[in-house]
Amino acid sequence: MAGRIYEAKNCIKYGKSILSDIPLLELNLYNLKGEKFPGKLLIPIDTGFEGSIMLSNEDYEFFQIAELPEEYWRTYRTLAGTVIMRVSYAIVEVNNIKFQTYVETPRFGVGTRLIGREVLNKLTIILDGKNKLVCLAD
């Protein structure tokens, strides 16, 4: 298979952690009213999360203006058991490209910020672990 050369753009530094630093993605989120979620969002990349973008309960309230009915909420199998997630429509902007996605938060529990494979699979991302940089490519 022929190799490919990717042009790295918009690189950002990994976030700090105790043992291994965390690859982060910078993005903007909008609710379905078109309102931008306030503040800069640097969200950890989690390839182990099959969903889209997980948020804390508090962040998620901003997106509840377009929530999916309960029957569309998602169930995840985790190492600690099953977790049900509420799901809302949202718009994500990465690398100056906007597309429709979903945001999720645990029905029970506070949640956290993560980007899962449903969004990651729409992007070309370079994880430069040696230099602790996450870059985007076209």
Partner 1 sequence: MILVIKKIDEDKLREFKAEAVRRGLTYSKAIEEAIDLWLSQRSNIRTESQMNNLTYRKLKDKLIKKYFGKYVVIANGELIGVYNNIDEVSNKLKTLNVKHAIVAKIGEEPIKGELTWLGGSMRLRTA
Positions touching partner 1 (CB under 8 A) are 17-19, 32-34, 46, 48-51, 61, 64-72, 74-80, 82-83, 89, 100, 116
d(CA 73, CA 89): 12
The least distance separating partner 1 from the CB of residue 114, rounded to whole angstroms, comes to 9
Q: Fill in the DSSP letter of residue 127.
A: E
Question: Based on CB atoms, which residue is closest to partner 1, 8 or 112?
Answer: 112
Question: Based on CB atoms, which residue is closest to partner 1, 9 or 36?
Answer: 36
Can you name the residues that pair with 98 across neighbouring β-strands?
93
d(CA 37, CA 59): 8
| 132 contacts 17 by C-beta, under 8 angstroms | no
The least distance separating partner 1 from the CB of residue 33, rounded to whole angstroms, comes to 5
Q: Which two tokens stand for residue 120?
A: 């990651």
d(CA 14, CA 42): 10
The least distance separating partner 1 from the CB of residue 20, rounded to whole angstroms, comes to 8
Q: Which amino acid is at 22?
A: I
The least distance separating partner 1 from the CB of residue 67, rounded to whole angstroms, comes to 6
The least distance separating partner 1 from the CB of residue 50, rounded to whole angstroms, comes to 4
Q: Which two tokens stand for residue 7?
A: 């042009």
Question: Based on CB atoms, which residue is closest to partner 1, 67 or 93?
Answer: 67
d(CA 138, CA 81): 37
Question: Based on CB atoms, which residue is closest to partner 1, 41 or 63?
Answer: 63
Question: Based on CB atoms, which residue is closest to partner 1, 62 or 136?
Answer: 62
